[in-house]
Amino acid sequence: MTRHGAEVRLEGLGKSYGPVRAVKPLDLVIEGGTLVTLLGPSGCGKTTLLRMIAGLEQASEGRILIGGRDVTLLSAGERNVSMVFQSYALFPHMSVLENVAYGLVSSGIARRAAERTAEGALETVGLAGFGARLPSELSGGQQQRVAVARALVLEPDVLLFDEPLSNLDARLRRAMREEIRALQQRLGLTVIYVTHDQAEAMAVSDKVVVMLNAGIAQIGTPHALYTQPDNVFVATFMGEANHVRAEIEALEGDAARVRLGETVLHLPHRGLTPGPVDLMIRPEAIRIAAEGALPATVARATYMGAHTEYVFTTPVGELFATDRPGGSPGEAVRLALDPVGTVLVRP
């Protein structure tokens, strides 16, 4: 079963329903053997994009290439992709084994052989011996694994997940996403994964495609998106961030001299020119430090065990921060900003 998944290439792919644009024409390359997440709030077009790749929706324009083959006009069954549905869509009238073998039998493999392969797939997901049961007799997590096995057994070029974990409770969700990631790594699959949960996206992805308003907001590794967001939306969607206004006074080599209230910071300029600019500050980048440049007052402090959540009142506005326990409300402090979690964004 070890093989390298195929590359998926979208060229100018778009979808509209009449005058409504569900997905604006976009280009995207998903390298073989990687797990790419489509992340975004509901209604951003991520599911439509996934369904176009699956062949469940017809593209209005553009092309889809899987492993170099143009599949734009092919039906879902001809594309060699598999999909795991949000509701799992297990056939309630078939046993688990029949469910898993279904795709193989559809592809013309003899039932006996198909069921043998299916048993192997069930073993892969840790469900050996459950084949004779009906889906309704399994727990949610087990159903989820059956759905994965059913998709995997076809050895697809691309495996698609449509919010696969949203029906599970928090603990199970964490376990399942790790299993999916491990399986993908072990088998070298190309996986496209839709979710609206950024933590899930961070946890499983090689790359994340953040979508907004039917278009791509930014593509990158989880780390890149977190540390180098292109805009306020990506920054706030990928974890918490304080958003303040600042101004670039001058460029000095790779760095920009940024004025934040009374304070001056030196940050990578990221191609920005002097003038007003947005500054994103991660909560963990704000530290209480005597040598800090920014004067502040502690407004609220909430003890959380491992850390404390602070709200500071500063000349540039309220800032939210996580730091070791220390300050207490009403106390005047100075704040230091860690350049790693402080980033300039185009206004």
Partner 1 sequence: MSLARAPGLPAWLLAALAATLLPWHMQQDGVAGLFALRAEEADAASALGQAWFHGRFWFWPVLAALALALPGALARRSVFLLAGGGLGLLAIVAQGFAIGIQGWSWPFLEAWFGPLEERQFGMGLGGALCFLGCLLLVTDGLALRGFFKGDRFVAGAVGVLAASILIFTAWPVGTMLLQMFTPREELSGLTALGVRLFDGKIWGLGCVTGRVHCGVFWNTLVLAVSTASAATLLGLCFALLVTRSGFPAKRALRLLTVLPIITPPFVIGLGLILIFGRSGVVNQFVQSAFGLELGRWIYGFNGVWLAQVFSFTPTAFLVLIGVVEGISPAMEEASQTLRASRMRTFRAVSLPLMRPGLANAWLVVFVESLADFGNPIVLGGSFGVLSTEIFFAVVGAQQDFGRAAALAAIMLLVALAAFLIQRAVVGGRSYVAMTGKGDAGLPTPLPAPVRRLAYAVALPWALLTILVYGMALAGGFVRVWGRDWTPTLSHFTRAFALEWSASGQIIFVGGAWNSLFTTVTLAAIAAPITAGLGLLAAWLLTRQRFAGRTALEFALMLTFAVPGTVIGVAYILTYNLPPLEITGTAMILVACFVFRNLPVGVRSGVAAMSQLDKSLDEAAITLRASTFRTLRTVVLPLLKPAIVTALVYAFVRAMTTVSAVIFLVSAEYEMATVFIINRVINGDYGLAIAYCAVLILLMLAAIGLINLLVGRRQLGRREGART
Nearest to 168, CA basis, from 159, 183, 179: 179
Neighbours of 106 (CB within 10 A): 11
What totals of helices (H) and strands (E) does the chain contain, helices first? 8, 20
Q: Tell me how far the alpha carbon of residue 81 is from its chain's centroid.
A: 20
Q: Which of 102, 161, 193, 310 binds partner 1 (CB under 8 A)?
A: 102
- Closer to partner 1 by Cβ: residue 141 or 229: 141
Q: Which of 143, 205, 218, 342 binds partner 1 (CB under 8 A)?
A: 143
Residue 25 makes contact with partner 1 by CB under 8 A: no
Residue 103 makes contact with partner 1 by CB under 8 A: yes
* Contacting residues for 238 by C-beta, under 8 A, at least 6 apart: 198, 202, 208, 210, 222, 225, 226, 229
Residue 91 makes contact with partner 1 by CB under 8 A: yes
Cα separations (Å) of 57 from 73, 172, 265, 334? 11, 31, 49, 55
CA 93, 96, 98, 104: dihedral to nearest 10 degrees? 130
Interacting stretch for partner 1, rule CB under 8 A, among 75-83, 195-203, 284-292, 317-325?
Answer: 75-83
- Closer to partner 1 by Cβ: residue 32 or 140: 140
Q: Which of 3, 61, 69, 77 binds partner 1 (CB under 8 A)?
A: 77
- Strand pairing category for 35-39 and 190-195: parallel
- Closer to partner 1 by Cβ: residue 80 or 313: 80
Residue 233 makes contact with partner 1 by CB under 8 A: no
Q: Which of 41, 58, 178, 347 binds partner 1 (CB under 8 A)?
A: 58
Q: What would the two tokens of residue 225 be?
A: 């998106």
Residue 195 makes contact with partner 1 by CB under 8 A: no
- Closer to partner 1 by Cβ: residue 78 or 123: 78
Please report how close the Cβ of residue 94 comes to partner 1 at its closest, in angstroms.
Answer: 8
Q: Which of 1, 65, 74, 289 binds partner 1 (CB under 8 A)?
A: 74
Whether the CB-CB separation of 219 and 210 falls below 8 Å is answered with yes
Whether the CB-CB separation of 293 and 258 falls below 8 Å is answered with no
Q: Which of 139, 213, 273, 328 binds partner 1 (CB under 8 A)?
A: 139
List of residues contacting partner 1 (CB under 8 A): 54-58, 72-78, 81-83, 85-93, 102-103, 106-108, 134-136, 138-140, 143, 150-151, 154, 160
